[in-house]
Amino acid sequence: MERENQYIGQSGAFLDAVERTSRAAPMRRPVLVIGERGTGKELIAERLHRLSTRWDEPLVTMNCAALPETLLEAELFGHEAGAFTGATKQRAGRFEEADKGTLFLDELGTLSMGAQERLLRAVEYGEVTRIGSSRPIRVDVRIVAATNEDLPAKAARGEFRADLLDRLSFEVITLPPLRVREGDIEVLADYFGRRMGAELGWEAWPGFADHVAEELENHPWPGNVRELRNVVERAVYRWDDWERPIAHVQFDPFDSPWKPASPTPAKQAPAEVPGQQPAAPAVDFEHVDDLKAAVDEHERAIIEHALGKHRWNQRQTAKALGLSYDQLRHAIKKHGLMEETE
């Protein structure tokens, strides 16, 4: 499970998680990694393995949500020939493959109760039994498991074995979502952007325009670092002028006035009209103490965003905003955007 990604970040929350990972790595005990999608749970699992005494032994990955329940146990514990329909030959499971090394169980919360019971025995006694066999096999495996679910809540509802949870939670590393990693968005965006620019053969890295940097900082990032990487790399590859700062970023790649219409409930809000400008970001009316300055700032943000979206083509921008070319030129000069558009 080699990863090309690096550990990029400087926030206290991120560094604390990495430090806890480093401290837990030499231990032989199980570790649970908790985090939202895209926070880097697999990277943490790899770090736990590489910094352990098992670093030169197998690191085996198993996504518990990738297989139907009927095949999951056979994948984990192996099976004998003829154990079930289609089992034409003997097969070792992931536990046997990871012997002396580390087994990373991703999406742990999706395991069936039957698989949880067998997993508990494997963790407790260090033994697995292939399906169709009555002979247990000794294995020496360190378990690292990951999930984005609230396992204690699932255990309280009877949806996850509490005894298995107790056995796996010697250490629990909870990864912070990107939105709380102060200062890391800028660092990560610059890293991913520079790497994409190099891949495209750019001679220099122009960085991001101020309004794009602000948009990146203010986005909630439900997909965390994985989403940020996609957004930044998409913005860089779509930008064809490495001498100018990247001035447009699209967070939703599916956003298009021509996307297929889906069936809508009777009382759903009307769909957005193609070509219609989206509503401007909400203003904090409670803290406006200079109306003219607030209006100017809002106007500048709208024009700057539209210019970036249309790659600084002023005629297209004017048309999109419902302005004449001269009106847009006047607004550009008024807000000091002339140097960026010349």
Structure tokens at 13: 């929350």
Domain ranges (residues) in the chain: 12-176, 182-257+283-341
The gap from C-alpha 336 to its chain's centroid, in whole angstroms, comes to 37
Mean pLDDT of 306-312: 71
Q: Are 312 and 247 in contact (CB under 8 A)?
A: yes
pLDDT of residue 273: 43
pLDDT of residue 165: 97
pLDDT at position 75 over 50: yes
Residue 163 CB-half CA count within 13 A: 10
Q: pLDDT at residue 45 above 80?
A: yes
- Between CA 42 and CA 225 the distance in angstroms is 13
Top CATH class, 182-257+283-341: mainly alpha
pLDDT of residue 82 exceeding 80? no
How many residues belong to the chain? 342
Q: pLDDT, tens digit, for every residue of 150-185?
A: 999 999 999 999 999 999 999 999 999 999 999 999
In CATH, which superfamily holds the domain spanning 12-176?
P-loop containing nucleotide triphosphate hydrolases (3.40.50.300)
Whether the per-residue pLDDT at 89 is higher than 80: the answer is yes
Q: Which residue has the higher pLDDT, 1 or 254?
A: 254
pTM of the model: 0.75
Q: Which amino acid is at 42?
A: E
pLDDT in tens, 202-216: 999 999 999 999 999
Position 2 scores a pLDDT of 44
Contact 7, 21 (CB under 8 A): no
Instruction: Pick the range with the lowest mean pLDDT from 4-13, 35-44, 216-225, 237-246.
Output: 4-13
